[in-house]
Amino acid sequence: MEHPSEGRDFGKYTLLERIATGGMAEIYRARMTAVAGVTKPVVIKKILPGYADQSAFVSMFVNEARIAAGLSHGNIAQVFDFGEVDGQFFIAMEWVDGHPLSRVLRRAREKGMYTLPQPLALLVTVEVLKGLAYAHTRLDDRGRPLHIIHRDVSPQNVLLSFEGQVKLVDFGIARARMAGGYESDEGDAKGKYAYFAPEQARGRELDARADIFAAGTLLYETLCGRLPFEGSVTDVMRKIAVGDFPRPRELEPDIPPALERILLTALAVEREQRYPTAEAFAEVLTRYLHTATPDVSTSALAHFMGYLFETELVADGRPVLLPREFLGQMARWTRPPSERRTLREPPSAAPLEPPPETPDTPRPPEGRRERTTQPIPAVPGPSSDAPAAEPPPPEPAPTLATPLPPRPRVPNAMALGTPVLAAMGVALVVMMLGRNGTFSVELSSSPPGANIRVDGRPLDTLTPALLTHLPADAEHLLEVHIPGMVPWSQVVRAERGTTLAVHARLRPRMNTPAASATSARAHHAPPVQEMDWAPGGIRLSAVSHAFRVPVTNAARVPLDPARTYLVHTEGRMSLGGPMSVEHAGYFLEGDANLPAHDSFGVLGPDEQLVRHASMLHVFALDSRRDDNRGGLQVRIRELGGASLAPFRLDSRQHAVKLSRADRFVLRALDPGTTYDVVLRYTAEPARTRGLGGGPVGRVLGLVGTGPGPEGSPSGLALLEVGQPTRLRGASWLQLAFPDDNLADNTGTLLLEVIPVVHPAGGQTAPAEHRHGRTAQ
């Protein structure tokens, strides 16, 4: 790979590094310098000199490049410029920080995965189809169809970014290749022929359905681990023309029949029997994906890229954060076929693909859910799932408990009473039928009649009470309080089918100055603002490790607390590091119904649900502004209503730097060591909106390399209780609670950063330490 020492001038561009050379062009990573010294990373594709003398090729190339430059879509790499410098024709296009799908497949095979995980293979194909659907329907200035066809949908032309984006490149350039006689070179064209549609192999006129066939071939390859058509060029062309290929389930029995039917429709020999449009194909795949794996998103694709290319990213000084949930998914996805369970088959006997004779894509029947009559409503477990495009209506306040009568000193069965025993019987049935397994808590207090919160949600009943249907796969925070008494809390977790007996002893609140001083001295020492890593837990204080957002440089947008909004970002910006970013921090001011846990987080391309908010603050969390470039478009739409005017988040103007008094910094992490980062509730959980706002089980953070956040590049992270995160390649971690009023803040969260794998590969941190109970 060529690395020009100081860069080589090429018109208004500087060529920095040659990435690849093909049969038609050589590709460089380059830099464009605009006015006022503003620079932009780009890719320059220089046409090889042998093609510059072919008038037919040049004419076709210029025409197709002009069309490609007019395409602007999130799944198409933007063409910024094309022209000629010193007799060399070139295209300047968007730099996508990632790798082509062809290299992703090779790296996956090196890690023992001969197919992509099914949810990710479907997700990549859906994104490719979105880009194709956009291009296929473009019109010229007079409203006439442009009839744009890619003609070269293949793994080499599908780019996957480390942020989870999927981008198509080389739109329409295949026609220029043909004009130059490119496919006469069998060695170069062999891979391209394998993605031809049957009408292409027969030499017939093409339409957009040729791209649909190619996308089906791409999906087949990622699901089955091989191409449907293999052999010499002559054999491949013959097999394509007649549809001679192994059925997907013959190669990969884990592919569900409904998914195979979708794939076979896309690979129909006669184009009239395929999906009529790329949009129709994408809709069928999307419905199947959301039915089979409803929680998959581009974030999983971003984590997968970090998983595959972790070594290179860490070597470049880019820490890799892999959530424990994703690592669990990978463990399931990479099991041998005989041991792993595949995507759930959508509960429908009807085919998901459209009948060949109809142009419309029918919706599959909605998946049936088993329903159980439940006199005792279920306690919802904590969740961080991103909202869907059309999220459900706001949940009503939970009434999650069955009150228990006062308990005299009599045998237990008599003490519970027949109604309660009946309720417990129903609860037992519910737990046995629960999909994930549940447990119950028999909660009492001294004195009785205390208010109850479960995972921050207030209940409509008082102690004593029976709490049922608590998911057994998570920790739950129980809180009991009576006005004038010190609040009590405890974290509980139990195996499915069990019932815990928990008693809360409340004590009067002492308001005298002497008592307050004594209590303050008895309390543990104030939290430190920074420290070097050492084994053990660290308390993050909602008082000492919080910053006030309204007085910062954050961008502000007023909202109506009575309305529900969906917010996301578009574009990318540079915060001085080697990788541009598409995420920003946000904070909400709101009414009394806004929970503290929902008051801040991270915005990205996926829509974020916002409720009970009167003001939205968006900011780039960064310690330096002078090396920042670009910005993000923040888009807000009302759920079921109109969109608000988008606004620009400027990476310099809206950068927020935290003072040493407003955050906690953990230094001296080893970039070569893998860590598990775990947040836990404490006996007095962190609160940033008073008692009524509930506990805040998350904290906003930065990770980076170098000595600390004062000058080194960093990446934004959101850590949450119950969602362990895996960290590698970082030397420091900064954490803070965004807030608007520090006066009502109380409590702490416990942070554990546990080494798991050292550079030599040795395992550390015993299981009981990694999964220990919260320090009380």
Task: Supply the residues annotated as catalytic.
Answer: 152
CA distances from residue 691 to 97, 487, 611 in whole angstroms, order as listed: 44, 9, 19
The span from the CA of 443 to the CA of 504, in Å, is 8
CB atoms within 10 A of CB 216: 26
Matching residue, tokens 């993000």:
632
665/742 Cα distance (integer angstroms): 19
Identify which of 465, 457, 396 has the alpha carbon closest to the alpha carbon of residue 427: 465
Q: Token pair 């007019």 is at which residue?
A: 70
Is there a contact between 586 and 567 (Cβ–Cβ < 8 Å)? yes
DSSP letters for 695-708: ---EEEEEEESSS-
Residue 111, classified by CB atoms within 10 Å of its CB into exposed (0-12), middle (13-18) or buried (19+), is exposed
How many Cβ atoms from other residues are within 10 Å of residue 757's Cβ? 17
Where do the H-state alpha helices sit in 93-205? 101-110, 118-136, 173-179, 186-193, 198-201
Kindly state the helix (H) or strand (E) to which residue 429 belongs, with its residue range. Answer: helix 412-433
Tell me the three state secondary structure of residue 310.
helix
Nearest 10 degrees: CA dihedral of 455, 456, 462, 465? 0
Give every CB contact of residue 70 below 8 A, 6+ residues apart in sequence. 138
User: Which phi and psi (to 5°) does residue 65 adopt?
Assistant: -65, -35
